[in-house]
Amino acid sequence: MLEITVERHDGYVLCRPAGELDAYTVAQFRESLTDLSIEAFILVDLSDVPFMDSAGLGALIGGIRRARENDGDVAVACNRPALIRLLHTTGFDRIVPVRETVEEAALALGEAGT
């Protein structure tokens, strides 16, 4: 089961999925990112995601594409070594800032916006 919370902060919207991001749960995640694509800055916190497969990664990349089509941008916070390795191995961290904490990712968003 996947739960997604969305919090509005000063300057960005935080999307925090909790649970596995895989082929069974990805539709809900994709829908949330689509709804948020109108926001200028989206921060996705993957710290409560113990597992993500290629479907989850694809949804994340699609969300980034939609946000950028709307002149927005995205950063990712993740403190899970396995997910960080996945994001690095796939080259994801070359297209989007990936930081260990929400605070660091928020700063990276601010840098992207200046």
Architecture of domain 3-112: 2-Layer Sandwich (3.30)
What percentage of the chain reaches a pLDDT higher than 70?
A: 96
Residue 114 has pLDDT above 60, yes or no: no
Compute the distance between CA of residue 32 and CA of residue 2 in angstroms, rounded to an integer: 12
Q: Which of 47, 40, 38 is nearest to 5 (CA)?
A: 47
Q: Are 63 and 36 in contact (CB under 8 A)?
A: yes
pTM assigned to the model: 0.93
Strand runs labelled E in 1-114:
3-9, 12-18, 41-45, 73-77, 98-99
pLDDT at 113: 45
Mean of the per-residue pLDDT values of the chain: 93
If you average pLDDT over residues 44-67, what whole number do you get? 95
pLDDT at 1: 86
